[in-house]
């Protein structure tokens, strides 16, 4: 028996990185999955390898009308709608406030925050009418501390954390749980720069009590738990997954 048997889940940004692994692992655990992304060829390739329990919709998370198509694709599996992983995001590097452009700030907020807001807004009716659901918003450890240079990405991830708590309070009575996940550096993803030299590695991993980068499977395991009924009394909480790097 799979952790997600009988459930239908939407994963945004599912063409690569962590999102791709969430799509693969949700299907492996028995879910029907709609993967979405801007990247059509890569997204199609991900679902093609997974058989008829997964489908891909090319979609920009900032497009509200496109969200209706995504939700319709989920409902077309005929099993209701139980999960949403707001994973798609952009990161444009760091610059101190004063040097950061408004264009970067605005675009980062639009994709990372408006995109998640639209997703939550569009899934809540089908989830409510089905008796509940689980929404997992991917934030970052940049949404837990005041990291220098992160006025765009970090602010967006703090907003995702706040949106999570507020929606958890609003939607709890409908049986819809909302949690945020806060990864540290996760290897083999678009937003992680792999340390190259021994000196880089030593410097990077010495700051992590578990002395390594996270893996996409580390994060997927947490996301699957939060989507599943095993976490049925957990809502509105930030789940940090960073090998202990934010302990000090």
| Residues with catalytic roles | 153
Q: Does 224 bind ligand NAD (CB under 6 A)?
A: no
Q: Does 185 bind ligand NAD (CB under 6 A)?
A: yes
* Cα→Cα distances 188→5, 176, 185, 215, 222, Å: 28, 32, 10, 7, 17
Among 37, 151, 152, 167, binds ligand NAD (CB under 6 A): 37
Among 2, 28, 30, 38, binds ligand NAD (CB under 6 A): 38
- Specify the residue, 130 or 150, whose C-beta has the smaller distance to ligand NAD: 150
Q: Does 138 bind ligand NAD (CB under 6 A)?
A: yes
- Specify the residue, 136 or 171, whose C-beta has the smaller distance to ligand NAD: 136
Q: Does 154 bind ligand NAD (CB under 6 A)?
A: no
Task: Find the part of the chain contacting ligand NAD (CB under 6 A) among 7-15, 117-125, 171-179, 203-211.
Answer: 7-15
Q: Does 119 bind ligand NAD (CB under 6 A)?
A: no
- Smallest distance from the beta carbon of 131 to ligand NAD, in angstroms? 28
Q: Does 133 bind ligand NAD (CB under 6 A)?
A: no
Residues that bind ligand NAD (CB under 6 A): 12-13, 15-19, 37-39, 60-62, 87-91, 111, 115, 138, 140, 183, 185-186, 189-192
């Amino acid at each position: 028996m799979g952790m997600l048997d009988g459930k239908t889940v939407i994963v945004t940004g599912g063409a690569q990185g962590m999102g791709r692994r969430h799509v693969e692992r949700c299907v492996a655990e028995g879910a029907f999955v709609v993967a979405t992304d801007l990247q059509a060829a890569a997204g199609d390739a991900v679902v093609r390898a997974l058989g008829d329990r997964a489908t891909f919709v090319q979609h920009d998370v900032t497009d509200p009308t496109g969200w209706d198509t995504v939700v319709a694709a989920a409902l077309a599996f005929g099993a209701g709608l139980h999960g949403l992983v707001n994973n798609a995001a952009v990161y444009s590097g760091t610059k101190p406030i004063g040097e950061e452009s408004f264009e970067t700030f605005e675009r980062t907020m639009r994709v990372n925050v408006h995109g998640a807001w639209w997703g939550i807004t569009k899934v809540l009716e089908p989830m409510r009418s089905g008796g509940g659901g689980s929404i997992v918003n991917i934030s970052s450890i940049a949404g837990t501390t005041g990291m220098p240079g992160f006025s765009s990405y970090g602010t967006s991830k703090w907003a995702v954390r706040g949106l999570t708590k507020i929606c958890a309070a609003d939607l709890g009575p409908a049986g819809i749980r909302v949690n945020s996940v806060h990864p540290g550096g996760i290897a083999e993803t678009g937003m992680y720069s792999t340390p190259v030299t021994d000196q880089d590695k030593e410097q990077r991993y010495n700051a992590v009590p578990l002395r390594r980068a996270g893996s996409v499977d580390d994060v997927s395991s947490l996301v699957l738990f939060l989507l599943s009924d095993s976490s049925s009394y957990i809502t509105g909480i930030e789940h940090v997954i960073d090998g202990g790097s934010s302990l000090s």
